[in-house]
């Protein structure tokens, strides 16, 4: 009997056992830096946990996340790292420098194997030295996400899973899942899953006031037709 009690205690400590009398706790949220997004999600991103983002590359997904990253770096007095694992292109240091982000706090990891990338993400998350980890990878298994969730809780960090296509047929235990598509004003956001909350209708995130150079205006384009002077033709006799 004592062995059974000890086993139950161990499972509870590792959060592998749930009891019916337990009340689900509300997730702690942190501002995304965008008022509309924060309003729709009642506060913004989860402060810790795994966030899945389905998005094509280069539509503004990093600009969207940069506001949250900058806010957290300022709160932590520039001491924690921002980790990129297997990004699809070359990171632009000038972009981060222009946003007053300390580029010396950026860590780039490029493992060749998917399991190595997951291992690197887990170590960074639970170390406590990293504020956020961005991992580009499309396929995950449930037990892998659970390990990342536990690592986030241990290190008080946030994991972004950057996916170019949705993983069909499997519901992953992430804290937040969303799909981003390009919009003339910024991004269209569709929330697929929220921990402890209902799904939301899709909405548009207007980024034109933050990034006017990268947003299309509603102004009518100027005509490029060149009108030549009209001449009168005289009919011959």
pLDDT level of residue 233 (50, 70, 90 thresholds): low
In terms of average pLDDT, the best of 37-41, 74-78, 211-215 is 37-41
Answer yes or no: is pLDDT of 130 > 70: yes
pLDDT of residue 37: 95
pLDDT value of residue 213 = 76
Q: What is the predicted pLDDT for the residue at 235? A: 58
Question: Does residue 230 register a pLDDT over 80?
Answer: no
123 pLDDT band, cuts 50/70/90, is very high
Q: What is the mean pLDDT of residues 48-64?
A: 94
pLDDT score recorded for residue 79: 83
pTM above 0.85, yes or no: no
Greater model confidence, 112 or 231: 112
Strand-pair partners of 179: 54, 190
Domains of the chain: 37-214 (3.40.50.300)
Residues 83, 124 contacting (CB under 8 angstroms): yes
pLDDT tens-place string over residues 198-225: 778 999 999 888 877 777 755 455 556 6
pLDDT at 99: 84
Q: What percent of the chain has pLDDT over 90?
A: 55
* Range 124-152 average pLDDT: 96
How far does CA 56 lie from the centroid of its chain?
12
Q: How high is the mean pLDDT of the chain?
A: 84
Cα dist. 172→5, 157, 205 in Å? Answer: 31, 19, 25
Three-state SS string over the chain comes to CHHHHHHHHHHHHCCCCCCCCCCCCCCCEECCCCHHHHHHCCCCEECCEEEEEEECCCCCHHHHHHHHHHHHHHHCCCCCEEEEECCCCCCCHHHHHHCCCCHHHEEEECCCCHHHHHHHHHHHHHHCCEEEEEEECCCCCHHHHHHHHHHHHHHCCEEEEEECCCCCCCCCCCCEEEEEEEECCEEEEEEEEECCECCCCCEEEECCCCCHHHCCCCCCCCCCCCCCCCCCCCCCC
d(CA 93, CA 111): 21
Report the pLDDT value the prediction gives residue 166, as an integer from 0 to 100. 76
pLDDT tens digits for 12-32? 665 566 565 554 556 788 889
Q: What is the pLDDT of residue 237?
A: 46
- Contacts of 107 by beta carbon, 8 Å cutoff, 6+ apart: 81, 82, 83, 84, 124, 130
Give the Cα-Cα-Cα angle 95, 35, 185 (nearest 5 degrees): 60
């Amino acid at each position: 009997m004592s062995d059974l009690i000890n086993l139950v205690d161990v499972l509870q400590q590792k959060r592998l056992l749930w009891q019916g009398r337990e009340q689900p706790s509300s997730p702690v949220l942190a501002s995304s830096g965008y008022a509309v997004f924060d309003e729709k999600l009642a506060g913004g991103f989860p402060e810790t946990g795994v966030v899945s983002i389905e998005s094509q590359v280069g539509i503004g997904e990093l600009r969207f996340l940069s506001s949250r990253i900058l806010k957290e770096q300022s709160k932590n007095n520039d001491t924690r790292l921002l980790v990129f694992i297997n990004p699809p292109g070359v990171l632009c240091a000038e972009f981060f420098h222009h946003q007053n982000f300390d580029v010396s706090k950026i860590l780039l990891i490029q493992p060749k194997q998917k399991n190595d990338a997951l291992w690197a993400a887990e170590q960074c998350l639970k170390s406590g030295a990293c504020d956020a980890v961005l991992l580009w990878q499309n396929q995950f298994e449930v037990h892998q996400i659970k390990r990342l969730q536990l690592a986030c809780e241990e290190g008080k960090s946030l994991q972004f899973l950057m996916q170019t296509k949705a993983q069909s047929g499997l519901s992953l235990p992430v804290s937040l899942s969303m799909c981003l598509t390009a919009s003339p004003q910024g991004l269209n956001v569709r929330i697929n899953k929220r921990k402890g909350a209902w799904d939301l209708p899709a909405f548009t995130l207007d980024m034109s006031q933050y990034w006017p150079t990268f947003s299309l205006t509603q102004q009518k384009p100027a005509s490029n037709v060149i009108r030549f002077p009209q001449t009168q033709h005289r009919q011959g006799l």
